[in-house]
Amino acid sequence: MSNRWPLRQLDVKNAFLNGVLCEDIYMEQPLSYVDPRHLLHVCKLKKALYGLKQASRAWFDHFSTFLSQIEFSCRHADTSLFIFSRKADLIYLLLYVNDIIITGNNSALLNRFIQQLHAEFALTDLGSLSYFLGLEVSSLPDGLFLSQTKYAHDILARTQLLDCKSVATPMIVSQHLSSDGGPFSDPTLYCSLVGALQYLTITRPDLAQSVNSISRFLHAPTEEHFQAVKRILCYVKGTLHFGLTFFASPSTGLLAYSDADWAGCPNTRRSTSGYSIYLGDNLVSWSAKKQPTVSRSSCKSEYRALAFIAAEVL
């Protein structure tokens, strides 16, 4: 963001059909392509097909091998991130299955690289980044705005809560959910909604704590838990326009905050840790998670929260 590099989005057509198989894999002759002279023969596959468990690995191996041949290196911390660095030229490539985001400091080099990709794979150049895996990207005069407005709207439409009355907070203040109460009649619906809300937290850190609370009861939700889910959805209804804004920041230092509640879970007496980390003025990482063990004092729960955030900063 600070360097105002262009963000380009590409889509690979039929990505899994590009993968070259290393194993010997056979399949029955496809219908309408059966050889009448060799009815009992099978086909030996040279490349992957959709539906093969090896297809995704074969595609990634092919793609990463091609990038390594043109001097890209794969990051150990994130294997979907590839970096090209030669003297002052930089290109960053992020791959998710067949969706690609690229950016760099040299527009001419970026265009030549996209042409190389075109020569090797069937690509669709989607232009400037605008919509990626449910995330909407809007350009601002001095930065970017990331949101999931359409995704949140679809969740509300699925639950028929588009016309519900919005609330000011995602949970009642000081509310601690427990496993007591009558079971909810549709656990599958509960799990589906919680999973959808978990994905919504990608651009909504304000939902992290409340979504973490309802995620603890996926195995046996109660009516109280479902009411908590509905309250979060009512909060989302009034905050559809919320998201993350990234500005060009003069500072590139890391600033981290942490907190913990002591024995917040009434069933296990375990505490919940939360943290947020800023790179310059931009929020880049956050979490709300129940601690794995019981803390015997508030000081110990806070110390564990500091340990979690120290590891994340490193």
* Host H or E run for residue 108: helix 107-120
Query: CA-CA distance, 32 to 202, in Å (whole number)?
Result: 46
Residue 84 sits in the same domain as residue 122? yes
Residue 257's nearest CA partner among 278, 282, 272, 280 is 278
Residue 2 belongs to a domain = no
Got the DSSP string for 22-59?
-S--EEEPPTT---TT-TT-EEEPSB--TT-TTHHHHH
Range of the domain at 31: 7-129
**CA distance readout (Å), 69 to 52, 66, 116, 120:** 26, 5, 12, 12
The predicted pLDDT at position 76 comes to: 85
The predicted pLDDT at position 224 comes to: 94
Last residue of a domain, one of 129, 156, 176: 129
- Tens digits of residue pLDDT in 209-224: 999 999 999 999 999 9
Residue 164 sits in the same domain as residue 121? no
Report CA torsion sign: 72, 73, 74, 77: negative
The predicted pLDDT at position 2 comes to: 65
Residue 219 sits in the same domain as residue 281? no
Last residue of a domain, one of 193, 210, 238: 238
Query: CA-CA distance, 277 to 255, in Å (whole number)?
Result: 6
Residue 35 sits in the same domain as residue 72? yes
Residue 194 sits in the same domain as residue 270? no
Residue 22 belongs to a domain = yes
- Tens digits of residue pLDDT in 184-207: 999 999 999 999 999 999 999 999
Residue 23 sits in the same domain as residue 109? yes
Residue 278 belongs to a domain = yes
Residue 141 belongs to a domain = no
Got the DSSP string for 174-238?
T----S-SPBPS-HHHHHHHHHHHHHHTTS-GGGHHHHHHHGGGTTS-BHHHHHHHHHHHHHHHH
Last residue of a domain, one of 207, 238, 269: 238
**CA triple 18-24-28, angle to 5 deg:** 85
**CA triple 305-283-215, angle to 5 deg:** 55
| Statement: residue 179 has pLDDT above 70 | yes
Residue 222 belongs to a domain = yes
- Tens digits of residue pLDDT in 43-78: 999 989 888 888 999 999 999 999 999 999 998 888
- Tens digits of residue pLDDT in 98-157: 999 999 999 999 999 999 999 999 999 999 999 998 899 998 888 899 999 999 999 999
Residue 150's nearest CA partner among 241, 246, 245, 244 is 241
Residue 114 sits in the same domain as residue 198? no
Residue 255 sits in the same domain as residue 225? no
Residue 167 sits in the same domain as residue 261? no
Query: CA-CA distance, 155 to 257, in Å (whole number)?
Result: 31
- Tens digits of residue pLDDT in 297-313: 999 999 999 999 999 99
- C-alpha 39: how far from chain center: 47
Residue 243 belongs to a domain = no
Residue 89 belongs to a domain = yes
Token code pair at residue 308: 């979690």
Residue 136 belongs to a domain = no
Average pLDDT over every residue of 89-103: 94
- Tens digits of residue pLDDT in 209-267: 999 999 999 999 999 999 999 999 999 999 999 999 998 877 788 999 999 999 988 88
Residue 280 sits in the same domain as residue 213? no
Residue 114 sits in the same domain as residue 190? no
The predicted pLDDT at position 18 comes to: 86
- Tens digits of residue pLDDT in 159-171: 999 999 999 999 9
Residue 226 sits in the same domain as residue 254? no
Q: How many domains is the chain built from?
A: 3
